[in-house]
Chain A
Amino acid sequence: MSYYFKPATITEALSLASDYSNNYVYFGGGTDLQIYRKQKLIKDEAIIDLSGLTDTYRIQADGNALRLGAFVTLDDITSAPEIQKLFPLLAEAAASVATPVIRKTATIGGNLLVNNRCTFYNQSKEWRDAVGSCMREVGATCLVTGGKDKCFSRNVSDTAPALITLNATVTVQTQKGEDEIPLKEIYAPDGIKYHQHMDDAILTAIRVPEKPVDWWFKKLRLRKTLDFTSLTVAAAIDTAGMARVCLNGVSMSPILIEKPIADLTLEGLTRSARKNCKTVDNDLMPLKYRREMINVYLNEWWQTVKDK
């Protein structure tokens, strides 16, 4: 038995969530969560549809800063003239997610909080029963690594690396009140509990403080449409000369490398990327190829920076 709720205010949504303690799921665009329901990976009793929270639908540009409601769809982000002008990095990242039709439903808040993926977890019930469940579901060990007691599922958000390099902060609402935290702090390097500060909380808005001087974005995937990322690299340089490079799809959380552009070398950059990425063979693309592509993409970005 399940129940469907469509609260009109955030307070109402939060109190519903506390009524159902751990037996609910927040529903944004729902394009990813529906598949989890069909594959019986989510069995929560209550569906709390957040589409009634109408004050989370707005895009506000204020000088060089930007405030996005969490329910703004990825398609709106791609086509909004103010975002194309100020933050083309974000527009390109949003345009690289899924297909044009899915982007009209999928929301930015949902993309930032997308569930981590793994080839041994995101499968049908029959597939998982035949192979044996991994530790993320009911089993005891990780099947990708052949028996480690740690989960290495990948974070696959494409807008997260873009917004992290733009130094974005998110507004998180809980029953205790509203809190603004840097976006990169909501991700934890753990394959099972990959979000922190988000327990019983609702992400309501995203704020990007300033326009970058320079930006770069590239996503690696098998097909040019629909596929989740195998490696996303976003890079931005801010007005103070700080370079931020963020890699996603290769570890349990986005990997940020932050350094003043004057002190940055390609060798140092690739070394710290390789050191921080806990990449395992849990994607359609082979592990060796994905590891090699980290170097290729970082090198590609470095060449564009050097040319300027």
Chain B
Amino acid sequence: MSKFEINRRGLIKSGAAIGAGLALPTIFTRNAYAYVNEPKGATVTLGFNVPQSGPYADEGADELRAFQLAVEHLNGEGDGGMIGTFSSKMLKGNGILGKKVAYVSGDTQTKSDAARASAKSMIEKDGAIMISGGSSSGVAVAVQGLCQEAGVIFMAGLTHSNDTTGKDKKANGFRHFFNAYMSAAALGPVLKSLYGTDRSAYHLTADYTWGWTQEASMIAATEALGWKTVNKVLTPLAATDFSSYIAPVLNSGADVLVLNHYGGNMVNSLTQAVQFGLRDKQVNGKNFEIVVPLYSELMAKGAGKNIAGIVGSQNWDWKLEDEGTKSFVKSFGEKYGFPPSQAAQTCYAQTLLYADAVERAGTFDPCGVVEALEGFEFDGLGNGKTLYRKEDHQCFKDVLVVRGAENPQDEFHLVDIVEVTPVAQVTYEPENEMFAGGNLGKCNSGA
């Protein structure tokens, strides 16, 4: 056993040691780069951060396929896909600014913490100049914040929450995907014509930023039609069994169930709702209906027959007839043997949009890229004429309203397109109350 004695000599010695330790970091000067991760060699590295586990793993796998395809096309391999149909003709298939495109991938685990750790290691270890991907708005918001602080560009993948380009918007972040408000605005008129104006809705909502804004948007849109909201219940994102949430719906007096769920959540909750016999029920003299505001082919595949007749909205579908869609579906189908999902399309488009913005800016400097993307109008990426709005970095384009096919001809024709809602109908002011409270701030290049 030793005693802790303070004497003058010991104090000076340990004081000096601690002082030297504290001063150590300050002797190093800042690095000499003009901006973070300035590519100096013959390659430029992009970071693709997608969920490879968790409820959105299917979407993540498809996103990664699209990223790999986009990198091939940028490097001039394969048939070039949508580069040929893209309205901007800056991309030549020789990489970006003559540098060959390399990429690193990581697993977000659909958790904010893990996603940030993965993105950080891409930025700090692998020197990624741009981060893309993400299949959850919680993750997208977290990673977007990280990219803003680190000084790299974030090209959001599949994120549908209003907050991503609303209260959590950042100058370094850009979203091509549509959002909850647009879904609700597109679905409103269709729901009115299908189910009338006298309905009572029950909401089951994934408990995080996307679910909250999706629910708020749907309630606003349906109440404007004259619908009543009976109840809204939050469910954990990690939940796999929804029976305890669905049972109360039966006796609530509601005649519409709105499932603000996505991915694996939606597959499970919809399947269980159908198993509980909700769809065969008559309530208030009307057929009980289920609405899934955000849809995807991958979810339709997971839910199987249960999807028949259920209405929802999509950002894009591979059955569209424009040139961009056709060439993308062709090159994706040739490489992987099945058509791409909307998650794949948005990630592919984001990668091309980033590469194109760098070419037009003539630099990888994030501030130059931000300037090139703001207010950029383009066409030929599968969604028709599209605008990257300067005020909130959100893309404005047509929205699809879709419906689960009653008798699908094969596993790739699970949804039918009901209507292509024109962009004017889903456009909103940047100051819209559902998007209020955010501030883009200034672009950060990390220098």
Say whether A and B bind each other: no
